[in-house]
Amino acid sequence: MANRPVTSDRLQELRDEREAADRAYNDALTAVDRALVPPVVAVAPSRLDETALGALNASWQITDAVSLPPPRGLRSRLAHFVWRLCAPAFERQQAFNSRLVDHLNRHADVERDASRAVERLNTLLQDYTTALAAFQSHLVVYFQQITWFVETKDRLDAASLMAVYDTVINHLTLELAKNREHADVREARLTGRVTAISAADDELRGSLASVQTATAVLKRELERSLQSRPDGPDRPAPPAGPVGPAGPDRPAETTLDSYKYVGFEDRFRGSQDAIRARLGDYVPLFKGRSDVLDVGCGRGELLDLFKKSGVGARGLDVNHEMVEACRARGLDAVEGDLVSYLEGLPDGSLGGLIAVQVVEHLEPSYLMRALDIAFHKLRPGSPIVLETINPACWFAFFSSYIRDLTHVRPIHPETLQYLLTASGFSRAKIDFRAPYPEADKLQPLAPSESDTPVVADFVATFNSNVERLNGLLFTYLDYAAIGERA
């Protein structure tokens, strides 16, 4: 037989063959076990009934006992006459009785011999089946011992082979351990270098993004300054919002530095695709509406969704670069602050208002003023949605809120809900969003049935404290206060 290479397919083929052989052997052993013949229980045949045979042998003669006196008188002669008439019939009956009794006697002998033969045959048959059952039982035990015998030989051979393998594997393990130590040292050095390069790369990318944004701002401002010169090119001025980029509250330097907040959004808030996916739940609230105002429209993710869903909407943002980014993609966006913009609108002119991650940037007095004005500018039945960071979640507060320098004040969910109600909006409710991943929360201990009462109490107290901490640290990262203009 030619040697075949030991591959994974070959090993699986050998395993399949071994399993098929085991199944065939077990099936054959089961068949032999189920074919075991039980001992035959002999049934004694019915014996010949001889109770009337003796009486028949004694009474079959009916004419020999008849003895008539010599005829001397009329009565005697009459008796002889009658006997001569009846004697032939009695003689025939006696002959029949003789033959019948003889037949019964001979048949009784045959029946006695047959009964004795059947009894001997039953005894022999029962002895044979008992011996056959014992043979089959011993045969099954023999087959079972063959399996154990073969398995012990296989285990002995495998143990001998494994002893050789262990020696070889131990030697290889020591060599691999030495090589692994050297590899770990090299990997640690390479990991440190890669980490340093990655950090430098991230820093370089951030700096490059800021430089690119600043370059775009300078280019745009340069073009505008050229347009303002008498000898500059005749180009149409870009559209402006109700409030210009520079004013008493927002100097020109703030406008020129607005690109920095665009870079901040790109780095920490997430990609535009991720923000669109997160904001998609708000679109159905404004289905079929027009004149919707997206306050703090940012890079225009929600305006994109409104445009694709057929919702007429305009974006408003105080950041000059954000507005320019929206306009570059063909979105309707204006630059200005919320109160000034709302004051310039007629009452009942808005079909909805949404501000995502905006109210935490506003002073309380400014926010309440904006809500009062928004109530009058919205048409009856129009929704208002205010999303912000959830400061009741400590992780959201310390990870998201304090990272942004432009945040003014955190707002508790119940506070914002109250402000909506106090400003005249009806059906005010809180919709918690962005739940913290369960897998990243503090994990409780798993109780065990073998725990002692003291350990069980400790586990219960520990798990209760874990639940409380999770309720404070890791709940929902954001929430939206939703109301309706009555």
Last residue of a domain, one of 237, 263, 286: 237
pLDDT at 203: 60
d(CA 178, CA 176): 5
In terms of domains, do 192 and 288 share one? no
In terms of domains, do 317 and 448 share one? yes
Residue 164 has pLDDT above 90, yes or no: no
Q: What is the pLDDT of residues 72-93, one digit of tens each?
A: 778 777 877 787 788 788 778 8
In terms of domains, do 214 and 108 share one? yes
CB 286 within 8 A of CB 237: no
In terms of domains, do 193 and 320 share one? no
Retrieve residue 427's tokens: 């059906």
Domain that residue 321 falls in: 252-485
| Nearest CA among 26, 27, 4, 24 for reference residue 14 | 4
Of the pLDDT bands very low, low, confident and very high (cuts 50, 70, 90), residue 216 is: low
Last residue of a domain, one of 237, 260, 286: 237
Domain count, the chain: 2
Task: Assess if residue 39 is contained within a domain.
Answer: no
Q: What are the CA-CA distances from residue 286 to residues 311, 371, 428, 479 (Å)?
A: 7, 19, 16, 18
The torsion of the CA quartet 331, 334, 335, 339, rounded to 10 degrees, works out to -130
In terms of domains, do 122 and 195 share one? yes
Q: Own/partner pairs for 186-189, CB < 8 Å, 24+ apart?
A: none
| Nearest CA among 316, 277, 284 for reference residue 300 | 316
d(CA 226, CA 235): 10
Neighbours of 296 (CB within 10 A): 21
Task: Assess if residue 12 is contained within a domain.
Answer: no
Higher-confidence position of 342 and 396: 342
Of the pLDDT bands very low, low, confident and very high (cuts 50, 70, 90), residue 56 is: confident
Task: Assess if residue 79 is contained within a domain.
Answer: no
d(CA 11, CA 149): 24
Retrieve residue 223's tokens: 């073009």
**What is the layout of strands, in order, in the sheet containing 333-335?**
333-335, 313-317, 292-295, 352-356, 383-389, 476-485, 425-435
**3-state secondary structure (DSSP) of residue 457:** helix
Which residues, other chains included, contact 352 with Cβ-Cβ below 8 Å and sequence gap of 6+? 285, 286, 289, 291, 292, 293, 378, 382, 383, 384, 385
Task: Assess if residue 31 is contained within a domain.
Answer: no
Of the pLDDT bands very low, low, confident and very high (cuts 50, 70, 90), residue 157 is: low
Classify residue 439 by its DSSP letter: G
Q: What is the pLDDT of residues 181-198, one digit of tens each?
A: 778 788 888 887 787 777
* Most confident by average pLDDT, 7-16, 204-213, 319-328, 375-384: 375-384
Residue 2 has pLDDT above 70, yes or no: no
Q: What are the CA-CA distances from residue 299 to residues 262, 290, 295, 326, 361 (Å)?
A: 8, 21, 12, 6, 17
d(CA 316, CA 345): 13
Last residue of a domain, one of 237, 264, 280: 237
- Mean pLDDT estimate for the chain: 79
Q: What is the pLDDT of residues 229-272, one digit of tens each?
A: 555 444 443 433 333 333 334 443 444 445 444 555 555 565 67
In terms of domains, do 278 and 177 share one? no
Give Rg (Cα) of the chain: 56
Classify residue 350 by its DSSP letter: B
